[in-house]
């Protein structure tokens, strides 16, 4: 196996010329201890990374549309009871615009 970081070649490739050898860049490793260490590599994922992935999975499963809220707003609009304060909308637009520059 060979790791080559030059010439846009794959990072890891089999080195048929040196079977039984591990080649890392310019360094070739022949010792049995090195071979054993290379074959027993492990990956540990932190608890915070696992929690982040779980939160991401749950967020992905959540519906994009909150149907209860849509139904409530639709009923208010149909009944003529939905009122929006133009001052509140303008204030929100200004606040959001200013926060982008800060």
Per-residue model confidence as pLDDT tens digits over 32-82: 666 666 666 777 888 999 999 999 988 888 878 888 999 999 999 999 999
Residues of the chain with pLDDT > 70, as a percent, come to 60
Asked if 96 and 51 sit in the same domain, the reply is yes
> Could you give phi then psi for residue 69, rounded to 5 degrees?
-65, -40
Asked if 20 and 57 sit in the same domain, the reply is no
Report the number of distinct structural domains present in the chain: 2
More confident of the two residues 11 and 93: 93
Asked if 54 and 90 sit in the same domain, the reply is yes
Helix (H) or strand (E) holding 95: helix 86-101
Asked if 29 and 9 sit in the same domain, the reply is yes
**pLDDT at site 12:** 47
Residues 31 and 20 sit within 8 Å (Cβ to Cβ): no
Residue 20 has pLDDT above 80, yes or no: no
Asked if 51 and 81 sit in the same domain, the reply is yes
> Of 19-28, 33-42, 93-102, which has the strongest mean pLDDT?
93-102
- The domain in which residue 19 lies consists of 2-39
Asked if 76 and 95 sit in the same domain, the reply is yes
Asked if 34 and 51 sit in the same domain, the reply is no
Asked if 11 and 29 sit in the same domain, the reply is yes
Q: CA-based diameter of the chain, in Å?
A: 81
Residue 102 has pLDDT above 60, yes or no: yes
Assign 3-state DSSP to the chain and report helix, strand, coil percentages, each to 5. 55, 10, 35
Distance CA 64, CA 54 (A): 18
């Amino acid at each position: 196996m060979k790791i080559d970081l030059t010439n846009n070649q794959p990072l890891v490739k089999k080195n048929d010329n040196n079977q039984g050898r591990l080649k890392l860049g310019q360094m070739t490793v022949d010792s049995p201890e090195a071979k054993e260490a290379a074959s027993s590599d492990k990956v540990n994922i932190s608890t915070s990374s696992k929690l982040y992935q779980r939160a991401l999975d749950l967020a992905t499963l959540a519906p994009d549309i909150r149907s209860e809220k849509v139904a409530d707003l639709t009923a208010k609009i149909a009944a003529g009871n939905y009122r929006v304060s133009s001052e509140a909308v303008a204030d929100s637009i200004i606040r959001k615009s200013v926060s982008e520059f800060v």
